[in-house]
Structure 1
Amino acid sequence: MKGLYLERDTPLHRLPPEVKIAAMVSATVIVVITPREALWAFAGYAVLVAVIAAIGRVPAGWLAKRSLVEVPFVLLALALPFLAAGEKTMFLGLEVSRDGLYGGFNILAKGTLGVLLSLTLAATTTTRDLIVGLDRLRCPQIITQIATFMLRYLSVLGGEARRMRIARISRGDDPRFLWQVRGFAVGVGALFLRAFERGERVYLAMVARGYEGRMPAAWLAAGAATRNQWLAAATVPVAAAAIAGTAVILG
């Protein structure tokens, strides 16, 4: 997440993390439950996401580049009209399945909007703030603990894996050859053992210093969202709900 965060001074960046998380999840749920036939609703959602990104000064090119993570789903969505069975219809001069066409659009639209909302949240909220926000929302302790340790030590494990790879190559190992996969497997096993031992030592050190499974109450209370901030964040899911309702009514 460190590589996704964009340091800016915007109203979106200054909002407490818990209200941003709640607004993003609520808006995503509304997008997901929107009927696939309500085509105009998805156009409205796209405009809403563009407005949110503009407020947070998140560049369109930055979003487009990192949205490539959904390419496999895009390929599935493009292939579905030709693979699905059922009633046929003409689209751009091609005979395609009507259900497949709607299904492909459903995957593409909802998946893209969900990715863009998640990227906007990541671009305007630091990793630490995300964890704090989840804790303030009373997310299960086990989830926040796992996320905290994973994000904190992922770069450490990545650096150690790179050093082990360099050490293997300097001793004549070439991972391109299949018969040398044994050395790679041994390295992965050694990395797992080192990570497990390090995690155990870190956990014991934290417990010795008074760790009880949650962040200190003072940390969670400092900077908690006010009523006005909750109301400001609520405009996003409310706007999404209004778009969905209008599209369904107009048919």
Structure 2
Amino acid sequence: MGIALYREVRSPLHEVPVEVKIVCAVVTVLAVVATPREMLWPYALYAIGLLVLWRTVSIPLTWIAPRMLIELPFVVLAVLLPFAEGGDRIAVLGMELSTSGLWAAWGIIVKGTLGVAVSLTLAATTDPRELPVGLTRLRVPSFIATIVVLMLRYVELLAAESDRMRIARLARGDDPQAFHQIAATARGVGGLFLRSYERGERVHLAMASRGFDGAIPAMDGIAGVSAAAVRRDWFLGTAPAVVALGISLAAWLVR
């Protein structure tokens, strides 16, 4: 099972039951999203908290930073907002920018960045094999847990197949940077989609023939899978989420 984002080190956060970490991450992201974008100090506190957490669990910034690039498309969208929005204008570096657009861009960038950072922290400290187990313990519908299982199992296989297709095109003289080759690239993407769909059907039939009924087993006691959370785990493991909620609430109170 793919573990590209998982950092196999020992830390207090690695030992927290997976269902507690999932709830903590979701609640923290919701708290960040609910924070007024006009207040700057709450986001500074969120960032400091993440830096302290990364230091505690030995996640270096050199590991986090390249993986944060996944949010670049949203950053590009946010950069365009100050030019496209209407309303009051303000001069910035000789350019007339929309005040509401600047605030909207700031909100998208800071909340998106913090959300991606929280997600990467969860991925770095949680073995992918535990995620379906945690979802099952949280009473998430079985079909969603099944989708997560198959995604984690086959995402790297699809990435490897895509890489093989790219190498095959290059070996036959394809230049992916040439505009006239865009049709070949599009056909390759379509072919990969069809192969993925066919693979999914074969896997489903194979699982059904072996008695799979859509429910993920608890797997308690299996090596690499943490035990179910007890009250103490919930109390300690959700502390970051409680702090994030407190910061968000305080921002609204002093707004």
Give yes or no for TM over 0.5. Answer: yes
One-letter identity of the residue aligned with 1:224: A
Q: What is the aligned partner in structure 2 of residue 49 from structure 1? A: 50
Aligned-residue sequence identity (percent) comes to 44
The equivalences for 1:1-251 within 5 A come to: 2-90=3-91, 95-163=96-164, 173-176=172-175, 178=180, 181=183, 185=187, 188-189=190-191, 194-219=195-220, 223-251=227-255
How far apart are the structure 1 equivalents of 2:187 and 2:89?
51
Larger radius of gyration: 1
For residues 59-111 of structure 1, the C-alpha deviation after alignment (integer angstroms, 9 at most, x for no partner) is: 12211221112122223333323332212335567653221221111111111
Cα 1:205–1:239 shift into 2, 3 Å: same
How far apart are the structure 2 equivalents of 1:120 and 1:80?
29
SS in 1 for 2:238: helix
How far apart are the structure 1 equivalents of 2:115 and 2:61?
15
More helix per residue: 1 or 2? 1
For residues 166-198 of structure 1, the C-alpha deviation after alignment (integer angstroms, 9 at most, x for no partner) is: 55666xx33337479569838954x55654454
SS in 2 for 1:96: strand
How far apart are the structure 2 equivalents of 1:186 and 1:239?
47
One-letter identity of the residue aligned with 2:59: V
How far apart are the structure 2 equivalents of 1:62 and 1:121?
14
**Could you tell me whether the CA contact under 8 Å between 1:23 and 1:237 is conserved in 2?**
yes
Query: Offset of 1:164 from its aligned partner?
Result: 5.1
Query: Offset of 1:50 from its aligned partner?
Result: 1.6
- What is the alpha-carbon root mean square deviation over aligned residues? 3.0
One-letter identity of the residue aligned with 1:249: L
TM-score (norm 1): 0.84
Which ranges of structure 1 fall in alignment gaps of 5 or more residues? none
Cα 1:22–1:180 shift into 2, 3 Å: closer
SS in 2 for 1:7: coil
**Could you tell me whether the CA contact under 8 Å between 1:174 and 1:180 is conserved in 2?**
no
Cα 1:126–1:97 shift into 2, 3 Å: same
Stretch deviating more after TM superposition (74-83 or 226-235): 74-83
One-letter identity of the residue aligned with 1:56: V
SS in 2 for 1:89: strand
TM-score (norm 2): 0.83
